[in-house]
């Protein structure tokens, strides 16, 4: 059974800091892994998609890595800004049945 865990559940850092959000999964047989952000009461915005054959993806100040063997992905945010405050979710798509398994999210607060 695939389980996805995100640590920490919440994080508060001063503006300008670089930070890392973690996502771990128990079954390495994944099709892909996707990172999202969600603002309060809103829908989800796709940030980065990493295919199982890839090691990392970058978009602007964001970099996501994937290590299937250890069951981990990290989302690196450089030079954080107050606008980065949101809940960040990772989701893993299983190979076996194409099911998407969600982490509980990390609530990020960037203090001005």
Partner 1 sequence: SAVISQKPSRDICQRGTSLTIQCQVDSQVTMMFWYRQQPGQSLTLIATANQGSEATYESGFVIDKFPISRPNLTFSTLTVSNMSPEDSSIYLCSVLQGTGELFFGEGSRLTVL
Binding of partner 1 by 88 (CB under 8 A): no
CB–CB of 90/33 below 8 Å?
yes
Residue of 11, 13, 19, 44 interacting with partner 1 (CB under 8 A): 44
In the region spanning residues 91 to 110, those forming contacts with partner 1, defined by CB under 8 A, are 91, 93, 100, 102-105
Nearest to 67 by CA among 33, 95, 19, 99: 33
Quick check: 60 binds partner 1 (CB under 8 A)? no
Beta-strand runs (E) in the chain: 4-7, 10-14, 19-25, 30-38, 44-51, 56-59, 62-67, 72-77, 86-94, 100-102, 106-111
Contacting partner 1 (CB under 8 A), which of 5, 11, 22, 31? 31
Does 58 interact with partner 1 (rule: CB under 8 A)? no
Q: How many residues bind partner 1 (CB under 8 A)?
A: 20
Question: What is the rounded CA–CA span in Å between residue 54 and residue 56?
Answer: 6
CA 16 from chain center: how many Å?
Answer: 20
Query: Which span sits near partner 1 by CB under 8 A: 20-28, 31-39, 59-67, 69-77?
Result: 31-39
Binding site for partner 1 (CB under 8 A): 31-32, 34, 36, 41-46, 49, 51, 89, 91, 93, 100, 102-105
């Amino acid at each position: 059974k695939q389980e996805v865990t995100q640590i920490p559940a919440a994080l508060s850092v001063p503006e300008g800091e670089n930070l890392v959000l973690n996502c771990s999964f128990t079954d390495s047989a994944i099709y892909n892994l996707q990172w999202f952000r969600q603002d309060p009461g809103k829908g989800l915005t796709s940030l980065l998609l990493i295919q199982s054959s890839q090691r990392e993806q970058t978009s602007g100040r964001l970099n996501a890595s994937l290590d299937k063997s250890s069951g981990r992905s990290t989302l690196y945010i450089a030079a954080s800004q107050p606008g980065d405050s949101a809940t960040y979710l990772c989701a893993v798509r299983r190979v076996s049945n194409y099911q998407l398994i969600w982490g509980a999210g990390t609530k990020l607060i960037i203090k001005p």
